[in-house]
Structure 1
């Protein structure tokens, strides 16, 4: 039987692949860094250091960095949070639309931005706006569902696995803290806690069966 200490250590990721969590955090951090760097390009001499010596080149570089950084942050957030496939697909589609907007910006700015016979400012802005709204909506739903799962009227859900069978038991935050403290201290209480949680899980299953 799996010990509760292993289950507790994995609970931090709630069934998610730790590599995905770390990759998402890294991607989100890089996205935030790109946005900050984009602001610095147009407000400090950083643009010149990156080869954008004139104002138009600096603005184009800043727009590109910011345009790539925002969807990267959205992707990072949804990768870190426990999200559904629908939310993952929604954020990916939104990020893809943002990339279309960035690509159009590369073609349009500055010659075909707002002047000339065939301007692309509107198409670029709409593609990026729609992509941002779509990605933000699914990130928002992922965050909302995450908070609901982790705070159902002050309760915490624990998942127990034994011989390939998974059981879920709901405990109060005070009970969860007591269990976690017992696991960390390893004072010989682990087996008793495991039996207690298993009995509660079996009782909950029997009650649902009666209903």
Structure 2
């Protein structure tokens, strides 16, 4: 007999590639470490150990590390969470803008930062601002949708398996109770319920 599945199933990561989850977690950790290292470069002797002996070189290295670390953390979050394709693409585009900002920063700092005929501080800031804003928005929507999926507020997720093919449909508690009662009673309604659930799963 086909199975209706587990109500409020605890398998949050079902169907997700564990390698992607681990890679996302590693990317997030590396991003956080890059930001912390960037702070240490300009506040401790770490900069000299990394070859940034003078203040300008240390500031450039710190800006680069921080600039790369923040989008890496955003990418790590959406890789770990069960996010949609739209959210993944949105964060990737945002991270791309951040990389453009970092690249401009590499060209601009310090000679063409805020002094000289052609300064690039504004362009750098705008590219990075657009990138972080866009990435943050899609990270926020991924986190919000994840919380909603794990707090169904009266909804039940049913899994229907038929001929080796799995389908998932979300129903209200009342519908779930009606389906479960009909199947337990085996009053000849099982096939009708299965067809109804299959039609809803295909919508």
TM-score by length of 1: 0.75
Unaligned runs of 5+ in 2: 173-182
Question: Would the aligned equivalents of 1:24 and 1:77 in 2 still touch at CA under 8 Å?
Answer: yes
Tell me how far 1:169 sits from its aligned partner: 6.3
Alpha-carbon separation, structure 1, partners of 2:44 and 2:101:
26
Equivalent position of 2:111 in the other structure: 111
Alpha-carbon separation, structure 2, partners of 1:78 and 1:146:
10
2:196 aligned with 1:206, yes or no? yes
2:13 aligned with 1:13, yes or no? yes
Tell me how far 1:13 sits from its aligned partner: 1.5
Alpha-carbon separation, structure 2, partners of 1:18 and 1:163:
26
- 1:189-200 residue pairs with structure 2 within 5 A? none
* More helix, by proportion: 1
Alpha-carbon separation, structure 2, partners of 1:207 and 1:165:
14
Question: Would the aligned equivalents of 2:169 and 2:197 in 1 still touch at CA under 8 Å?
Answer: no
Question: Would the aligned equivalents of 1:21 and 1:79 in 2 still touch at CA under 8 Å?
Answer: yes
Equivalent position of 1:151 in the other structure: 151
Alpha-carbon separation, structure 1, partners of 2:199 and 2:108:
63
Alpha-carbon separation, structure 2, partners of 1:33 and 1:154:
41
Unaligned runs of 5+ in 1: 173-194
Superimposed CA distance per residue, residues 21-40 of structure 1 (whole angstroms, 9 cap, x where no aligned partner): 11111111100010010011
Alpha-carbon separation, structure 2, partners of 1:156 and 1:43:
52
Q: Which moved more, 1:78-87 or 1:154-163?
A: 154-163
- Return closer, same or farther for 1:56/1:150 CA change in 2, 3 Å cut-off: same
- For these two proteins, the number of residue pairs brought into alignment is 184
2:105 aligned with 1:139, yes or no? no
Q: Which moved more, 1:12-21 or 1:137-146?
A: 12-21
Alpha-carbon separation, structure 2, partners of 1:54 and 1:39:
15
Equivalent position of 2:77 in the other structure: 77
Alpha-carbon separation, structure 1, partners of 2:148 and 2:110:
46
- Return closer, same or farther for 1:204/1:63 CA change in 2, 3 Å cut-off: farther
RMSD between aligned alpha carbons?
A: 3.3
Tell me how far 1:15 sits from its aligned partner: 1.6
Alpha-carbon separation, structure 1, partners of 2:127 and 2:97:
6
Alpha-carbon separation, structure 2, partners of 1:158 and 1:115:
63
Equivalent position of 1:36 in the other structure: 36
TM-score by length of 2: 0.78
Tell me how far 1:204 sits from its aligned partner: 7.6
Alpha-carbon separation, structure 1, partners of 2:103 and 2:62:
14
Alpha-carbon separation, structure 1, partners of 2:156 and 2:143:
17
Alpha-carbon separation, structure 1, partners of 2:108 and 2:99:
14
SS of 1:168's partner is strand
